[in-house]
Structure 1
Amino acid sequence: MEHNLKTLTVESCRKARLSRDPRFDGQFFIGVLTTGIFCRPICPAVLPQEKNVRYFDSAIRAINEGLRPCLRCRPDSAPDSFAWKGTQTTVERALKLIDAGVMSGENGLSIESLSERLGIGSRYLRKLFFEALGTSPKKYAQFRQLMFAKQLLHETNLSITQVGLVAGYRSVRRFNEVFKDTLRLTPTQLRKKGGEHCRAPKSKTCSDEGVCLSLTLSYCPPFNWEHLSGFYRLRMVEGMEWQDDASSYGRTFRLGAVEGFFEVVHLNEKNRFNVTIHLFRAEDLPLLRDVVMQIRRLFDLDADLDKIHDSLSSIPFIGEHLHEGIRIPGTWSAFEAGCRAILGQQVSVNQATKLLNSMVKENGELRYLSGRRLRMFPTPDKLANASLDELKMPAARKAAIKAFSQYVATTPDADLEQWLTIKGIGPWTVAYAKMRGRSDPDILLCSDLVVKKRLLKMYEADRDTGQPAKPVDYTVLTESLRRQSSPWGSYLTFQLWEQT
């Protein structure tokens, strides 16, 4: 409904849908009253008359109004770029946890447990959700389960039973009941009706043990893939990461006990990625959703770049230098990011990458799947007990790697700030790990030498040349920048690293 739109006007929505503007994909949805369905702004179907349209700021609001998702544009595959996202910190934290599946499955958290984890009361959490989404945390969790199940039904050959299990349902019967009650179709009916609109290759069994699935992951443009892929390419680890061509990227991963690798192909003209995920063991399928969410984080697919760019462009002497579409290139884990940061202390990126390659080659386990010889990133236990003789660097930094690995091995869930108690790890290393390993959006690395050099150069160039030159107080300058760039400091960091 129009009154649910938080930041977009009805006129903005009207113009966006008439032009099928992809920048608004995921920011609002279009309910068509004459058909009882709701669509994305980019839906290729014949445009309905304005009098038959209502606008919603989230798919779940449309569901709550009794509308069902369009089988052609598939709202379940829209990027998660809610118009209000980022304005309510507690709700956003809750959404991230629910999207990660903490309320799904046999061991799913109750609303009370989720509220406790967020540090608020359950009644207050329900109130926040109703204000933001018009529904409860429990119903939102059920909605996310359904939308992921719907994507699997469209894009894979998994059986109905497997889809229900992967989506977090305890029984096929319950899965069918919830699916039909909400979407007014059974899983089998939806698969038949939606089959002709499938846009991704169906999943297949791998040539050896394991399972292989293909999915599509959408985003809101702009997306500077050249920057992101170039950033990864410069820091690539042989056998663990690869790029077969300019539009692709692949790497191995470990998520708890789950191991595998994924490959993405960027389809710039369609604002999405085709993703193929290979799991070494078929029994790991129930954790597929966790893997997918991690890949979304890795490529920062849910960022609202227009909003971020508008915010940063208002900063004096910064705005005119911004590049379009720069996102946060994540690492698979905070531990990996910490290792990369320690190896990168006081050396160039090229030298740090050589050290990283040597460390992974010597200590990363080999895996063979689908005809590939793959290398895993070393576990904390492995590095804690490794000699690290292959690393041509000061003994103090080797000791830091070992101490860091031992700490993570024994306290894997510790807050990253606790890493500062480890000798050889300072604020820069922790901040880097937060930015790339946790995708924290608000890390401005002012202590980074490249960032400092470029900030000062840009500041000096912007000065009024008619005034007497005064020494720049870098501390005062960066304190001001932190305030002005918040909560998008990480994006400013990558903008500054990109400056030439």
Structure 2
Amino acid sequence: MCTNSSRPLSHESCRRARLARDPRFDGVFFTGVLSTGIFCRSICPAAPAKEENVRYFFSAISAANAGLRPCLRCRPDSAPGSSAWKGTQTTVDRALSLIDAGYLFGDNGGSLESLAEKLGITSRYLRKLFLEKVGTSPNKYAQFRQLMFAKQLLHQTDLSITHVGLAAGFSSIRRFNEVFQQTLALTPSALRKKRGTNMSQDKHEQGEVCLSMQLAYRPPLNWQKQLDFYRLRMVEGMEWDNKAEGYSRSFQIGNVKGFFEAEHDEAHHRFNVTIHLADTQALPVLKEVVTQIKRVLDLDADMAQIQTSLSSIDIINNAILDGLRLPGTWSAFEAGCRAILGQQVSVVQATKLLNLMVNANGEELTLSGRVIRLFPTPDAIANASLDELKMPGARKAALNAFGQFVSEHPHASVDDWINIKGIGPWTVAYAKMRGLSDPNILLCSDLIVKKKVLKRYEELHGTTEHLVKKSAKNSTDNMPTAINYKAVTEQLESNIAPWGSYLTFQLWNLA
């Protein structure tokens, strides 16, 4: 079996996937070649090693802990990430997600104690969980992620080695070189010499930073459906599609502002992404920017596992759209605003309102020769008149109150929004699904979901005694009964967990 895997694959499954160079397993497991001392992705183009010299690992760090180095041909640093929602243990999954996004990186990163506090446990218990589930300490895991991100930047960009170290969270170039060589048995400069020349040249003009990266995913991916979803809801100046059927948008993290352009490369199962930042001072948050882009595009989803779960749901199993992913927004706050504006109106009308709100309250700036608009900050929405919006005053008041709450409580849980007047369970659930990419949101209160569930259930099952509402007036046997929607959806939520959000999008796309 793959060592320590939370979703164990048999040795034979790994062997077949490795020999077939199956991209569906890219990042799900890694192949350690004991005779050479390296580990590879399942799609490595090198001649396959003899099986007796091979050992399989569920993560790159477990292979590194076994004393193996990452392959320079297939570059494990570029493999799709494993979903943070593997179902092993919620606390560890959340910790891995936060660390992967850069929580412990650099001088301005959080401490292990603050990470533990954020998770609601002690730092001692967090260390224990990591040793049990990951096989190493949180700090060593974070350092390994730093190095793998640095390795990816060294391979794919022409950022200087100093800037690569800065972007990876190292404040000292000496420390960066030292740790890199100790762990990967190669200096950053030596790696640069080995990378070849078939890569784009990044631009750094007038203090701005423009760099290109390749972000891989495991097929299948239904990009056309995902792009259509974005197009229908686009905000002018904040989002746009490009000539290669790609998706682009502006973003802001703290004081860092920029935009990215993502071009789909279906043949290589990846997106070619160009990131534009205002200046090199933004490099310390580059890891967070990349993590956010991957989340927005849902590139780390293991669709084979998700669709296996979907196929067990009888109302959808014969109508599953292959590769349908979660199209995210940049932030939970943005998703919350979209949800409030979308209450009781069509998607087209909600998008018109959203465009008016962003145009009136979002900052405009010029970057890399392009005029872009940023989504309004919570403070801007809290203090906005919203006169541009032709909608009920109660909904404007809800937007103002929402902006004020998030401005005053930026780290509050999305679940706390339910206490804001004008925000209900549907808005909270929608924000978690698109703004946090929570994979387990079956949006039961959504009207379209309800119609599709009831229609499919009636077509397949009719009504059964334990799933009907008994009318108070059904004193005769001829009185019709209605399907108990609550009972049906409770059963669906139980059967599809933890992939309820994917079922929601499948239902939204049912004919």
Q: Same fold (TM over 0.5)?
A: yes
**Cα deviation, residue 135, structure 1:** 1.6
1:9-20 equivalences under 5 Å are 9-20=10-21
Show structure 1 runs of 4+ deviating over 4 A.
464-470
Match of 1:396 in 2: 394
Match of 1:419 in 2: 417
For residue 246 of structure 2, the aligned residue among 229, 245, 248 is 248
**Which secondary structure does the structure 2 equivalent of 1:195 belong to?**
coil
Match of 1:477, as an amino acid? V
Match of 1:428 in 2: 426
**Which secondary structure does the structure 2 equivalent of 1:321 belong to?**
coil
1:351/1:246 CA distance change after superposition, 3 Å: farther
Confirm or deny: 8 A CA contact 2:32 2:55 kept in the other structure: yes
For residue 487 of structure 1, the aligned residue among 467, 484, 498 is 498
1:255-334 equivalences under 5 Å are 255-334=253-332
What do the CA deviations read for 1:15-50 (whole angstroms, capped 9, x no partner)? 001100000000111112222211101011111221
**Cα deviation, residue 84, structure 1:** 8.9
**Cα deviation, residue 111, structure 1:** 3.2
1:397-476 equivalences under 5 Å are 397-463=395-461, 470-476=481-487
Match of 2:346, as an amino acid? S
**Which secondary structure does the structure 1 equivalent of 2:318 belong to?**
helix
Confirm or deny: 8 A CA contact 1:155 1:202 kept in the other structure: no
**Cα deviation, residue 114, structure 1:** 2.5
What do the CA deviations read for 1:120-170 (whole angstroms, capped 9, x no partner)? 333432332233332221111110000000011111111111111111112
User: How far, CA to CA, are the matches of 1:113 and 1:465 in structure 2?
Assistant: 52
For residue 236 of structure 1, the aligned residue among 234, 245, 256 is 234
**Cα deviation, residue 318, structure 1:** 2.4
What do the CA deviations read for 1:432-478 (whole angstroms, capped 9, x no partner)? 11111111111111111111111111111102599997421111111
Confirm or deny: 8 A CA contact 2:116 2:126 kept in the other structure: yes
Number of residue-to-residue matches in the alignment: 497
User: How far, CA to CA, are the matches of 1:95 and 1:85 in structure 2?
Assistant: 11
Match of 2:144 in 1: 143
1:359-370 equivalences under 5 Å are 359-370=357-368
Match of 2:352, as an amino acid? K
Match of 1:219 in 2: 217
Match of 1:307, as an amino acid? Q
**Which secondary structure does the structure 1 equivalent of 2:195 belong to?**
helix
Confirm or deny: 8 A CA contact 1:155 1:203 kept in the other structure: no
Unaligned 5+ segments in structure 2 are: 466-477
User: How far, CA to CA, are the matches of 1:297 and 1:219 in structure 2?
Assistant: 11
Match of 2:112 in 1: 111
What do the CA deviations read for 1:244-290 (whole angstroms, capped 9, x no partner)? 23521101111111000100001111111111000012211111111
User: How far, CA to CA, are the matches of 1:84 and 1:263 in structure 2?
Assistant: 27
User: How far, CA to CA, are the matches of 1:4 and 1:368 in structure 2?
Assistant: 48
1:141/1:434 CA distance change after superposition, 3 Å: same
What do the CA deviations read for 1:62-110 (whole angstroms, capped 9, x no partner)? 1112211111100000011279933221211110111121212124344
User: How far, CA to CA, are the matches of 1:271 and 1:182 in structure 2?
Assistant: 29
TM-score, normalised with respect to structure 1 = 0.95
Match of 1:497 in 2: 508
1:79-158 equivalences under 5 Å are 79-81=80-82, 85-158=86-159
1:384/1:125 CA distance change after superposition, 3 Å: closer
Confirm or deny: 8 A CA contact 1:332 1:437 kept in the other structure: yes
Confirm or deny: 8 A CA contact 1:103 1:110 kept in the other structure: yes
Match of 2:59 in 1: 58
**Which secondary structure does the structure 2 equivalent of 1:320 belong to?**
coil
TM-score, normalised with respect to structure 2 = 0.93
What do the CA deviations read for 1:324-343 (whole angstroms, capped 9, x no partner)? 11111110111111110111
**Cα deviation, residue 116, structure 1:** 2.9
Percent identity over paired residues: 65
- The Cα RMSD (Å) is 2.0
User: How far, CA to CA, are the matches of 1:108 and 1:438 in structure 2?
Assistant: 21
Confirm or deny: 8 A CA contact 1:167 1:289 kept in the other structure: yes
Out of 57-66 and 104-113, give the one that drifted further.
104-113
Match of 1:372 in 2: 370
Match of 1:121, as an amino acid? T
User: How far, CA to CA, are the matches of 1:306 and 1:487 in structure 2?
Assistant: 14
**Cα deviation, residue 213, structure 1:** 0.7
1:235/1:75 CA distance change after superposition, 3 Å: same
User: How far, CA to CA, are the matches of 2:2 and 2:241 in structure 1?
Assistant: 44
Match of 1:203 in 2: 202
1:341/1:464 CA distance change after superposition, 3 Å: closer
Match of 1:381 in 2: 379
1:84/1:485 CA distance change after superposition, 3 Å: closer
Match of 2:337 in 1: 339
Confirm or deny: 8 A CA contact 1:219 1:271 kept in the other structure: yes
User: How far, CA to CA, are the matches of 2:401 and 2:119 in structure 1?
Assistant: 31
Match of 1:161 in 2: 162
User: How far, CA to CA, are the matches of 2:359 and 2:113 in structure 1?
Assistant: 45
What do the CA deviations read for 1:375-394 (whole angstroms, capped 9, x no partner)? 11112222222221211212
Out of 459-468 and 238-247, give the one that drifted further.
459-468
Confirm or deny: 8 A CA contact 2:215 2:294 kept in the other structure: yes
User: How far, CA to CA, are the matches of 1:466 and 1:441 in structure 2?
Assistant: 30
Out of 309-318 and 433-442, give the one that drifted further.
309-318
Confirm or deny: 8 A CA contact 1:5 1:55 kept in the other structure: no
Confirm or deny: 8 A CA contact 2:83 2:301 kept in the other structure: no
Match of 1:36, as an amino acid? G
**Cα deviation, residue 363, structure 1:** 1.6
**Which secondary structure does the structure 2 equivalent of 1:87 belong to?**
coil
Match of 1:33 in 2: 34
